[in-house]
Amino acid sequence: MEDVTRFLDEAGVDFDVLEHEHTERAAEEAEALDVALEEVAKTLVLASPGGNVRAVLSASDRIDLHKVAAALEVGGKKVHLATEDDLARDYAGFELGAVPPFGGPEDRVIVDERLSGRDSVVLEAGSHDTSVRLKAADLVRLTEAQVADITREEPEAG
């Protein structure tokens, strides 16, 4: 958490720290904060040939690893979710499953295009009981993120 707030303070951006009950899932985080699920973003750590990549997308969306691989210009089977062992080793300062898109190692970051167009976004701040809210544009700028379509298209019910 301190790593995240220090990063944001040093960057000089406006952000709010949002403390809440311990949550394990984004839907629980949204409920605890009394915000819509679409306002909450999740950060997934992916392993790729060039190193770890942090993918940020709306908590209500599902990631499409083939789209991520295409955006990173690597083969489709070369991008996968990082293992718990990888996360524990590379992100020891953050709780497992609560890695934020900034702070810690300087990974490549990719933000879903739908998320990047929002006014603000709520992100876990390295723990399961603290989040931060900041402008989506600041998220993209601070992380020098690549913006791309990385979500899975869900088939329409019918």
pLDDT at 80: 94
**CATH class as words, domain 2-148:** alpha beta
Whether 20 contacts 31, CB under 8 Å: no
pLDDT at 19: 94
Q: Report the candidate in 134, 102, 132 with the shortest Cα–Cα distance to residue 120.
A: 134
Q: Report the candidate in 22, 31, 30 with the shortest Cα–Cα distance to residue 95.
A: 22
What averages of pLDDT result for each successive group of 10 residues across the chain (158 residues)?
86 95 91 93 94 95 95 85 94 92 89 95 94 97 96 71
pLDDT at 148: 98
